[in-house]
Structure 1
Amino acid sequence: MSATALPPPLDRFVAAVNRGDADSAFALFATDGEVDDWGRRFATTRDIRRWSDREFVGAGGHLRVVRVARSGDQVTVDAQWTSPHYSGDSRFVFTLDGERIRRMRIVGE
């Protein structure tokens, strides 16, 4: 995998986030998918959407992927995140389940 090549579900996820399309972004999650934002866990669709509306897609966030590393079903994405809520270097660790995102963990960098 090249330094910035994303697996197809994550490529679609980043594109949806960057165009402000929360519906398309979160449709890529498994039905039991979850988000862990620096230890704050959101495990229901409703809780993930509330979080995203405040701090992620709804905050006008934009991801510029810098580096991608994959080990099995885990993909680490280093990115420059920009939003009114937070801007800076960020690390996203995704767990994939086929074409679905099982987990997105935001851990910084």
Structure 2
Amino acid sequence: MKRKDLSSIEREALLMELLTRLLREEISSGQVLRQLRRDVLGMSQTQYAELVGISRRSLSDLEADKASPTLALLNQVLRPLGLQTGLVPRNRGLRERLLTVDKSST
């Protein structure tokens, strides 16, 4: 897939949309990784796997939510996207409140 020439504002908007959908459990973390890799970086799985120092198969498993990676591996894979792993409430209501608080502060 050819890289889309997104402006920094468009990249940030896409990231915020994907993270919001992730917190609402509308998409998986693997789907977020795949979409950012393709739509923001315009890279194939092979290219991105080489960039982050893992096998293409490992990246494929992460994107398909079939892997049980360590936090170190997740941070290694997310680093080029400007992301890191963090703590998120398991309770859906708390996550929704976080999203609401975030929107009201912007």
Q: TM-score, normalised by structure 2?
A: 0.30
Give the structure with the higher percent helix: 2
Larger Rg: 2
